[in-house]
Each structure stands twice: as structure tokens, then as C-alpha cells.
Amino acid sequence: MSVDSATFTPTKTASSERRPLRERFSTIVPQLVLAPSLVATFVYVFVFAAWTIWISLSNSGDLPDYSFAGFQHYAELWVNLRWRIAYTNLFLFSSLYVIGTMVIGLSLAILIDQRIRAEALFRTIYLYPLAVSFIVTGTVWRWLFSPTTGIQAMVHQLGWASFKFDWLVQREMAIYTIVLTGIWQASGFVMALFLAGLRSVDPDLIKAAQIDGATMPRIYRRIILPAIGPIFIAVAVVLLQFAIKTFELVIAMTQGGPGISTTMPANYVYDLMFQRGQLAEGAAAAIMILVALALILVPYTIWTNLRQRREASRG
């Protein structure tokens, strides 16, 4: 490495000529060490993205073909029934998942924040699903939702023979089993984020309100929850990211079925690229996922930067 770098050490300025070679080399060590990572990330982020965009505009079928086809595959994608189902599912799933997870997560955080005993135990229990892969979670919940083995079978066993809970195999309802599983997996995580927020609220504010005779629900509504407002937005952004990337849960629970009713965009990208050999259309669908992420992350980044600047200027 030292031989390489010595060959392109700059020798232009007088001051650097006077310094020993070793010292001059040492000033560029950081850049040299960083360079491979930068190249790798640059390729990963920009070259790969550009590559996928190019494929989406090309005539690629089951093999890459880089001749230009224009936006034809995007047009095909948006008239495709399965894609329309996939993005309808994405909206349905995202809204229910984000709202459900936040409601349960916040409720758990508020309950845990009531100076209870065994707090660490409860926290450990609520959070463990996050250590487990979506595949494991999805597989287990598939068994539980399956009418022949799970909850319905258990209730039948108990003697209520007409009980029905077969959402997993109903076209219209299967997506809700994925929503419930998603909420189960993420609400402990959201609880932890909210709990950290609740504990960062200035206790003097709360004491003052208590002395003024405010009731606890009122204190939560008027003081505590507004104070952790930014956390709501951060949590929602994180969850929306999870929702947009949802892939494994569907694979493990329904494989997109019954029929095509629970297909999500990420699953459809996979199908187009690796099952049907429609690389260009698959790439176009992948770019739609990127666009969806950008629609959430870009405004969020701008908002956090603005807020930080405002806080900095306030001193």
C-alpha cells in the first residue's frame, strides 16, 4: 500500500517538498483507507440504482437487453391487475399497520410508565418478537390463523362448533391476518420508542400541572403527548418504511394468496423478475417502491433538518 501511494504523492508546493515523504503519506492515509468503502457504497447506491432504472427502460425480458424501450413497462405495470391489487394492499396494509402498531405501542408505553413493578420483565416480553425473523413469526401465525389447526380448531375443540375464524383463507380477509401479525411483531419496538419519549418529558411540568389540580388523562392529552409529538412522526416514518418493504411476512403466511389477494409490491417485484422473466417490468415496479420510500423519507429529512436549525437558532 505504501508503495502505491508514494507514486502519486503530490510534490507541487514548496512546503510539501520540504516535508519528508513519510509525513506526506501519512496525511492521505485516512482518505486511502476510506476509499474502498466509498467506492463500494457509491456503486451500491448510485450505480446499482441507475442500472435498475436502465433495465426498467430497456427491452429486457428474461435476460437483460439494454436496448431502449422508453416508459412502456411502466405503462404496462400500471394497467396490470396484479400490480393494482398490490398497491391497494400496500395502502390498506400500511395505514392499518401503522395506526394499529402506534395505538398499541403507545398504550403499552403509557401503561408501563405508571411506576409498575417488574417493568423489565414486561418490556422483555413485548420486545422479543423483534429479535425473530419475519419468516419465523409468519410461519407460526399462519398455523394459528389456519382454520384447521389454529384458533378456530381450538374453539371447536372446546365445544363451540359453529365458531368461524378463517380470515387466512378468505380472499377479502387474508390481508388482515398479515396486518395483525405485523402489529404483533412491531408494537413492542414502538412501545420502547414511545417509552423513551415519555421519560424525556420534564417532570417539573407534570408536577406543576398536578398541583394545579389537572387530572392524569388531561395531563397526558395536554402536556405529555404534545411534548413527544416529534416521536410520533419518527415512529410513523419508520413503520411506513417497514410496510413498504414487507415481503417475507407474505411469503411465510399466504404466498400472496388466496389467489393473488395478498400480493404486496415487493412480492410482485420478485415474481416479475425471477418467476416470470419480465426483468424490465420488475425493475419498473422496484423503482415504484423506491419512489414510495422517497415520498416519505425526503419530506421527513427536510422537516427534521428545518426543526434542528430552528432549535439551533433558538439557542
Partner 1 sequence: MAEATTYDPLSTAGTWGRRAKLIVYALLTLFALVYLLPFTIVVLNSFRDLGDISRNGLISVPHTFSLDYWVQAWCKFCVGGTCEGIQPFFYNSVAMVVPATIISTAIGAINGYILSKWRFPGSEILFGIMTLGVFMPGQMVLLPWAQVLGFLGLTNSVAGLVLIHCVQGLSFTTLFCRNYYVNIPDDLIKAARIDGASFWRIFRKVVLPLSPPIIIVTVIWQFTNIWNEFLFAFIFSSGTHQPVTVALVALSGGGTAVHQYNVESAAVLIGALPPLLIYLFGGRYFLRGLTQGALK
Site for partner 1 in 80-139 (CB under 8 A): 104, 107-108, 111-116, 122, 124-137, 139
Does residue 2 belong to the site contacting partner 1 (CB under 8 A)? no
Smallest distance from partner 1 to CB 154, Å: 4
In the bound state with partner 1, the residue whose beta carbon lies nearer, of 178 and 269, is 269
In the bound state with partner 1, the residue whose beta carbon lies nearer, of 99 and 130, is 130
Residues 235-274 that bind partner 1 (CB under 8 A): 238, 241, 244-245, 247-248, 251-252, 255, 266, 269-270, 273-274
d(CA 159, CA 178): 28
Residues 170-199 that bind partner 1 (CB under 8 A): 184, 188-189, 192-193, 196
In the bound state with partner 1, the residue whose beta carbon lies nearer, of 7 and 37, is 37
Determine contact, residues 245/266, Cβ cutoff 8 Å.
yes
Does residue 49 belong to the site contacting partner 1 (CB under 8 A)? yes
Residues 211-230 that bind partner 1 (CB under 8 A): 211, 215-216, 219
Number of residues that bind partner 1 (CB under 8 A): 95
Smallest distance from partner 1 to CB 252, Å: 6
**Peptide bond just before 258 cis, omega within 30 deg:** yes
Determine contact, residues 132/217, Cβ cutoff 8 Å.
no
Smallest distance from partner 1 to CB 127, Å: 7
